[in-house]
Structure 1
Amino acid sequence: MLERALLEDGRGETLLQGKLNDTRDWQVVNDFCTKTYMPLSTRPLTRGADPDATIRMLKVGGIRFSRFCFGTPTRADDFDPDSGNIIVVNTLRGSVRHPLLGNDAVDSRPGDSYVVDCSRTDYWNVADGSDLQLNLTIPHKLMEETAARWYGFVPGDDLWKKRLIFSAGQSAWLSLLDYTTRSLDARHDGIGDPLIERRIEEMICLELLQNWAANSGLNLETGARSAAPRYVREAERIMVERAAEALSITEIAAELEISARSLSEGFRRFRGISPHDFMTAQRLDGLRRALLQAERGETVRSIASARGYVNFGAMTAAYRKRFGESPGQTLAAARS
């Protein structure tokens, strides 16, 4: 599994033809690391050693996939937290040493996957020189958006600061990566279809989130959600059940006999998002369901108007950002 990742597409055609895919120049290696991961420092463990590096990278949605090795024993550290990126190291051969809690470290072996949020905690690694990795670079913001969309809250640093190995052998995670890399198309240097890319991006972020949480002892279904005060949970219920009414946050707060400010502070503390963002997501989800269930003769405008939308340009932009397609495309697909 993954032996040919980023070398060939699903048809056996060569990926990244005409691109620089290997180098023995440290400056080229460092430039690749900065572009693909974030600014960091590298140091060969054998004085004066040149790299024999593999440097291949393709984007799938907002995620960068890279097939990488230094080709000589190397330490990398000083990963820039301001870049806001999470790195997942999937070891294909050899071994790479990573930090865990405190002074503990772990050597990832073939089939192991290691995750670290470089925007929340420090990171270093030591590659043995015979290693090869399929790495993923994922913006922290993208993971937050996935958590909010699927679970209604954004986990805190009890998740993001955990550095851990979460996969081994023939796991569902590795199968998903294998599916993704087989979906690449050499003709486009990517997947080519933005809708499929968006779906794959979502699956990867969700699968990573679930593995990360499970190995951190965090229950995404009941953990942080059940800890929220009653008024936050009641506000969520109202927003879900009455999304088509386009209630304002002030109206919801008044119904719960609290201030809009208290409601906002409760959402930010226990959900990591604003009540407005939660409401926006519920309204868009409801709009999508209505489009998929539309009767003959209904239009995007009529369906959206019935759900309280007035600014159709802003609605379309928000819909496209959330679902990777326009409302019109959803409606057309439902009728095809």
Structure 2
Amino acid sequence: MTNASYAEFDEFEASLYGVNGRYMLRSAQRRDWRLRVLELNGVALMAGQEGAATIYSGAGMPGCFNLFLPLSGHECTVVDGRRFDRHAIGWMAPDRMFHIDASRPASWMTISMPCELVCRWMATYADNADLSLLARNLVLTGGPSLGALLALTQRLLFIDDRQPAQLHHPAGEQTARSELLRLAFNTLLPLAARSTDTARHQNHRRILSQAMDLLAAARHTPILLEDLCAATSASERTIRNVFNRYVGISPHRYLVLHRLHHARQALKHAKAGETVTSICMRFGVWDIGRFAMQYRRLFGVLPSQTLRASHLGMQAPH
């Protein structure tokens, strides 16, 4: 089992299992980031503790589905525009974009399952399950097995800490995996009566996806609200509504955070001769003093300190 503590969110982000995406900090870091990954013959149980309020935008990796279970901060967690409570769960399909907004540091758990196992289950329970589960993300109320599922995950992590040889004996691992999958699938049933979707929701998801594609493609170019409107063929009002609902903050605030995060990456990988000013200008920053205050508030250091650390790393002997 992977059991690690990270001082930086970048390291935590790179260690996530079953998903591919990016964190954006919404607040300064308050604690370390912790991650535990337990693998049971292709099925992975991942428990994470985030160190700050965050926005996570990503997609499930090809070949696996993910069941998302918040462990704390339920009411402060919004997934694809749906606010969670203690009974809500999230379902992420392969290659389908999702957005998680946590307005305070939260802890969560995911169960990553290979497509083959999910398709086999769907074939078995075709009368009760919604086949669109295979092609889309959902936020829904967990079934009566949710409590038992959470208790089982805690027990598995405890046994893996205390008696790993017992858990990872081939027979024991197979039994544990079977029980975990049974409760996970029972938590999803019956889907047909609970899953809903509307044309408006689909249109908003399209707009958000196009906006995120533009931001991903233009990492080194300043992006303005009017650029988002042009790329999505949506009004400023619609863009504001979409970001507030699905991402949890206004598009203006998101663009500020986007600029701060990408400037940080540029500072961390600066070339010889680059300065804070030259890098900031590249990202359309015109008030470097204010930018420096925002940067320090979010990352705990000044931009000049990040750049200095980068230059010292370049000078270090190999």
Task: Give the structure-1-normalised TM-score.
Answer: 0.48
The aligned runs of 1:293-304 (5 Å cut-off) are none
The answer to whether the 8 Å contact 1:167/1:173 transfers is no
Distance 1:185 1:43, change over 3 A: closer
1:212-252 per-residue CA deviation (whole Å, 9 max, x = no partner) reads: 1314328xxxxxxxxxxxxxxxxxxxxxxxxxxxxxxxxxx
The answer to whether the 8 Å contact 2:54/2:105 transfers is no
The yes-or-no answer on 1:45 pairing with 2:26 is: yes
Higher helix share: 2
The yes-or-no answer on 1:62 pairing with 2:42 is: yes
In structure 1, runs of 5+ residues without a counterpart are 1-15, 219-336
- Which residue of 2 is the match for residue 158 of structure 1? 132
Q: CA deviation at 1:173?
A: 2.5
| Equivalent of residue 79 in structure 2, options 88, 93, 99 | 99
The aligned runs of 1:194-205 (5 Å cut-off) are 194-205=170-181
- Which residue of 1 is the match for residue 115 of structure 2? 140
Distance 1:28 1:169, change over 3 A: same
The yes-or-no answer on 1:123 pairing with 2:103 is: no
Structure number with greater Rg is 1
1:67-98 per-residue CA deviation (whole Å, 9 max, x = no partner) reads: 2022100000122x452322222222223524
Distance 1:51 1:174, change over 3 A: closer
In percent, how many aligned pairs have the same letter? Answer: 12
- Which residue of 2 is the match for residue 175 of structure 1? 151
In structure 2, runs of 5+ residues without a counterpart are 195-318
- Which residue of 2 is the match for residue 77 of structure 1? 57
The answer to whether the 8 Å contact 1:60/1:201 transfers is yes
The aligned runs of 1:1-336 (5 Å cut-off) are 21-33=4-16, 36-46=17-27, 49=29, 52-79=32-59, 81-95=60-74, 97-99=77-79, 104-109=81-86, 112=87, 114-119=89-94, 121-148=96-123, 150-151=124-125, 157-160=131-134, 161=136, 162-167=138-143, 171-184=147-160, 186=162, 188=164, 191-217=167-193
Structure 2 CA distance for aligned equivalents of residues 179 and 70 of structure 1 = 21
Q: CA deviation at 1:61?
A: 2.4
The answer to whether the 8 Å contact 2:68/2:109 transfers is yes
Residue type matched to 1:123 in 2? F
Distance 1:197 1:146, change over 3 A: farther
Q: CA deviation at 1:21?
A: 1.7
Distance 1:114 1:190, change over 3 A: farther
3-state DSSP of counterpart to 1:57? strand
Task: Give the structure-2-normalised TM-score.
Answer: 0.50
